């Protein structure tokens, strides 16, 4: 199946926040009031009610000039997602488009996904049921998987008026990103494509003007070792042990049942028994 990804060219972004508004509207997300950030940035980071955030970064370039750098921030939809690995309820999975989605019916709000995401893009939202009891669910950008199902593009992409956001076939988007970096090198010597392989590559790739750390991104994010051990070793072994234990319990029950029936049969016949 053809793999599609979102392409983000930060150098074309003008910080208009249209992507934030489109995300809110399409996903019917509530208002998320925040204290004043001390800058034009409205939210410090993504949250359970704000799935993408426009970041405004004050940066001193190599010439000593102060400039603003913008970045559309949302879930990266990792190919090898730590959140999927650590979820004990199998509530997180990959769609046929490669997007990472959360099944709200299975999520128990344990927060393991929040703790293990290398990009810190998952949050827990608190709800109150009809009895007044509180419970939590994990929330994050879905890459508008429901729109993809209908042959549409993510809402944030369709509203971007500068061409900073695009959505298309993986090889074409990566080729476009690499060509863009070549064009930028004279002005931005540190320009690079951000598609970290420590998480198997991502379904959101960036053309960055500076090093990832300047944008608050990890330079070389990886799936935590603990997540790998849990998903690839501990869970399978645990299931095997549970299976073996279950078989032993069932076997013991069947054996005891057979012995009891034999004893009862002997007693009915008046035979001696131990």
Tell me: do 72 and 155 sit in the same domain: yes
- Residue 65 pLDDT level (bands cut at 50, 70, 90): confident
Which residue in this structure is represented by tokens 């095997």?
Answer: 240
- How many CA atoms within 13 Å lie on the side-chain side of 244? 6
The residue ranges of DSSP E strands in the chain, in sequence order, are: 4-9, 53-60, 66-73, 92-94, 100-102, 123-128, 134-139, 165-169, 192-194, 204-208
Task: Check whether 105 has a pLDDT greater than 60.
Answer: yes
Return the pLDDT at 203. Answer: 97
The span from the CA of 117 to the CA of 227, in Å, is 10
Return the pLDDT at 21. Answer: 96
Q: Is the model more confident about 107 or about 250?
A: 107
Of the candidates 38, 34, 101, 46, the one whose C-alpha atom is nearest the C-alpha of residue 72 is 46
pLDDT digits (tens, 9 = 90+) for 170-227: 999 999 999 999 999 998 999 999 999 999 999 999 999 999 999 999 999 998 877 7
In a domain, 148, yes or no: yes
Task: Check whether 255 has a pLDDT greater than 50.
Answer: no
- How many CA atoms within 13 Å lie on the side-chain side of 118? 25
Return the pLDDT at 230. Answer: 64
pLDDT digits (tens, 9 = 90+) for 12-34: 999 999 999 999 999 999 999 88
Return the pLDDT at 165. Answer: 98
Q: Which of 71-80, 229-238, 265-274 comes out lowest in average pLDDT? A: 265-274
Tell me: do 76 and 150 sit in the same domain: yes
pLDDT digits (tens, 9 = 90+) for 106-130: 999 999 999 999 999 999 999 999 9
Tell me: do 178 and 144 sit in the same domain: yes
Of all residues in the chain, what percent carry a pLDDT higher than 70?
83
Task: Check whether 261 has a pLDDT greater than 90.
Answer: no
Tell me: do 195 and 263 sit in the same domain: no
Of the candidates 148, 156, 204, the one whose C-alpha atom is nearest the C-alpha of residue 25 is 156
The two three-digit tokens of residue 112, written as one number: 């393991």
Mean pLDDT, residues 132-152 taken together: 97
Tell me: do 216 and 238 sit in the same domain: no
Tell me: do 50 and 147 sit in the same domain: yes
In a domain, 183, yes or no: yes
Task: Check whether 266 has a pLDDT greater than 60.
Answer: no
Residue range(s) defining the domain that contains residue 261: 224-274
Supply the pTM of this predicted model.
0.82
Q: Mean pLDDT of all residues in the chain?
A: 87
- How many CA atoms within 13 Å lie on the side-chain side of 5? 23
- The count of domains in the chain is 2
For 208: left if phi > 0, alpha if psi spans -120 to 50, otherwise beta; the answer is: beta
């Amino acid at each position: 199946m053809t793999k599609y990804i979102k392409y983000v060219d930060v150098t074309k972004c003008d910080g208009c926040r249209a992507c934030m508004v489109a995300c809110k509207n399409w996903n019917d997300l509530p208002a998320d009031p925040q204290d004043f950030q001390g800058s034009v940035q409205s939210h410090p980071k993504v949250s359970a009610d704000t799935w993408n955030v426009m970041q405004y970064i004050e940066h001193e370039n190599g010439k000593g000039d102060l400039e603003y750098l913008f970045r559309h921030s949302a879930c990266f939809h990792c190919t090898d997602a730590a959140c999927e690995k650590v979820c004990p309820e199998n509530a997180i999975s990959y769609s046929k488009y490669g997007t990472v989605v959360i099944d709200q019916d299975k999520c128990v709000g344990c927060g393991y996904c929040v703790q293990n995401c290398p990009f810190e893009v998952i949050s827990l939202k608190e709800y109150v049921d009809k009895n007044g009891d509180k419970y939590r669910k994990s929330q994050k950008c879905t890459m508008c998987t429901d729109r993809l199902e209908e042959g549409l593009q993510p809402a944030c992409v369709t509203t971007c008026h500068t061409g900073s956001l695009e959505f298309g076939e993986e090889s074409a988007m990566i080729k476009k990103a690499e060509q863009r970096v070549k064009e930028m090198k004279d002005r931005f010597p540190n320009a690079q494509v951000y598609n970290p392989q420590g998480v198997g590559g991502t379904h959101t790739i960036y053309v960055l003007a500076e090093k990832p750390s300047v944008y608050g991104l990890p330079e070389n994010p990886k799936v935590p070792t603990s997540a790998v051990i849990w998903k690839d070793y501990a869970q399978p072994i645990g299931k095997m042990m549970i299976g073996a234990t279950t078989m032993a319990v069932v076997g013991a029950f069947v054996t005891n049942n057979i012995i009891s029936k034999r004893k009862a049969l002997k007693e009915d016949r008046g035979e001696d028994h131990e």
